[in-house]
Amino acid sequence: MKTKKKTRRLSEQLIGQLLLFMTFLFILLLLVILRLLFDVEKTNQEEVIGNLMESNVQIMDRNLSGIISLAKNLQGVVNEGVYNEAEIQRHIHRLLLDNPILVSACLAYDEQNPPHCTTFSLVAQRMNAIKNTNDDFLYKDWFQIPRLTGRPYWSDPWYDKEGAKTIVCSYSVPLTRKGKVQGIIRVDLPLENLRRIIVNLRVKESGRAFLVSGNGMIMAHPTDSLAMNYTIFDLVNRYPDVQMRTLAKKVVAGEVGFERNRNLGMKGDVWLTFRPLPTNNWSLVAIVPHREVFVHLHYLSLILSLAVLFGFLVLSLMIWGRVQALNKPLTELVDGIKQAGEGDLSPAPPLETESYEIQVISENFEAMKSSLSAHIDNLQALTEERNRISSELEFASNVQRSLIPNGNSIKPGNLDVYGLLEPAGMVGGDLFDYFLIDEGHFLFAIADVVGKGVGAAMTMTMATTLLRSIAQHHKKPQEILSQLNAFFMGHKLESGYMTMALGIIDLASGVCVFSNAGHLPLYVLSQDGQIRKHERTHSTALGFFDNIKIESEELRLDAGDKILLVTDGVTEATNPNDHLFGTQGLEKTLAGLRGASVEKTAKAILETVLDFADPEKGRDDITILAIEYLGGLQKP
Partner 1 sequence: MKKTLSLLFAMLLILAACQRQDKPKSANKYKAPKNVATDTEGLFKMRYRLKWLDQAQFAGAYVALEKGFYLQRGLDVEILEGGPDYPQYGSLLDSSADVVGLHLLIGMNYFNSPRPVVNIGQVLQKSSTLLIGKKSTGIANLKDLAGKKVGVWRGQSYVRYFLDEQHLGIRSIPIDWSVNLLLNDAIDMMNATSYNEYHRIMMSGLDEDELVVFPLAEHGFNVVEDGLYVLKDYYKKHPQECKDFSEATMEGWLYAFEHPEEALQIVISRMRENHRPTNPGHQLWMLQHMEELILGNGEPGKLKKSDLDFANRILMESGELKKPIPYEEFCPL
Binding residue for partner 1, selected from 169, 252, 417, 520, defined by CB under 8 A: 252
Binding residue for partner 1, selected from 109, 230, 239, 435, defined by CB under 8 A: 230
Instruction: Provide the residue count of the chain.
Output: 636
Query: Does residue 352 sit in helix, strand or coil?
Result: coil
492 binds partner 1 (CB under 8 A): no
Are the CB atoms for 281 and 272 separated by under 8 Å?
no
234 binds partner 1 (CB under 8 A): yes
243 binds partner 1 (CB under 8 A): no
Secondary structure (DSSP) of 508-521: TT-EEEEEEESPPP
Are the CB atoms for 546 and 555 separated by under 8 Å?
no
140 binds partner 1 (CB under 8 A): yes
Query: Does residue 14 sit in helix, strand or coil?
Result: helix
Are the CB atoms for 632 and 508 separated by under 8 Å?
yes
| Residue closer to partner 1 (CB basis): 230 or 612 | 230
CA distance linking residue 360 with residue 347, whole number of Å? 16
CA distance linking residue 287 with residue 298, whole number of Å? 19
139 binds partner 1 (CB under 8 A): yes
Q: Any residues with CB less than 8 A from the CB of 88 and at least 6 apart, and which?
A: 77, 78, 107
Q: Any residues with CB less than 8 A from the CB of 523 and at least 6 apart, and which?
A: 531, 532, 533, 534, 563, 564, 565, 586, 587, 590
Binding residue for partner 1, selected from 206, 229, 390, 527, defined by CB under 8 A: 229
First to last CA, the chain: 88
156 binds partner 1 (CB under 8 A): yes
- Which of 472, 489, 471, 488 shows the shortest CA–CA distance to 480? 471
- Amino acid, single-letter form, for residue 294: F
17 binds partner 1 (CB under 8 A): no
160 binds partner 1 (CB under 8 A): no
245 binds partner 1 (CB under 8 A): yes
| Residue closer to partner 1 (CB basis): 245 or 468 | 245
Are the CB atoms for 71 and 280 separated by under 8 Å?
no
Binding residue for partner 1, selected from 120, 153, 210, 294, defined by CB under 8 A: 153
Count of CA atoms in the C-beta half-sphere (13 A) of 273: 27
The mark string for 107-136 relative to partner 1 (x by CB under 8 A, - otherwise) is -----------------------------x
The nearest distance, CB 199 to partner 1, in angstroms, is: 18
42 binds partner 1 (CB under 8 A): no
Are the CB atoms for 92 and 74 separated by under 8 Å?
yes
Footprint of partner 1 on residues 447-476 (CB under 8 A)?
A: none
Binding residue for partner 1, selected from 17, 237, 390, 584, defined by CB under 8 A: 237
186 binds partner 1 (CB under 8 A): no
| Residue closer to partner 1 (CB basis): 238 or 635 | 238
| Residue closer to partner 1 (CB basis): 142 or 258 | 142
* Contact region with partner 1 (CB under 8 A), list: 96-104, 145-153, 350-358, 535-543: 145-153
64 binds partner 1 (CB under 8 A): no
| Residue closer to partner 1 (CB basis): 228 or 627 | 228
84 binds partner 1 (CB under 8 A): no
Q: Count residues near partner 1 (CB under 8 A).
A: 27
255 binds partner 1 (CB under 8 A): no
Q: Any residues with CB less than 8 A from the CB of 454 and at least 6 apart, and which?
A: 393, 396, 427
What is the bridge-based pairing of β-strands 104-109 and 430-436? Answer: unpaired
145 binds partner 1 (CB under 8 A): yes
Task: Give the number of other Cβ atoms within 10 Å of residue 522's Cβ.
Answer: 24
225 binds partner 1 (CB under 8 A): yes
Binding residue for partner 1, selected from 174, 216, 428, 521, defined by CB under 8 A: 216
Scanning 426-510, the segments in alpha helix (DSSP H) are 453-471, 477-491
228 binds partner 1 (CB under 8 A): yes
The nearest distance, CB 249 to partner 1, in angstroms, is: 6
CA distance linking residue 623 with residue 114, whole number of Å? 165
| Residue closer to partner 1 (CB basis): 152 or 412 | 152
What is the bridge-based pairing of β-strands 415-422 and 498-506? Answer: unpaired
| Residue closer to partner 1 (CB basis): 284 or 520 | 284
Site of interaction with partner 1 (CB under 8 A): 136, 139-141, 144-145, 148-149, 153, 156, 215-217, 225, 228-234, 237-238, 245, 248-249, 252
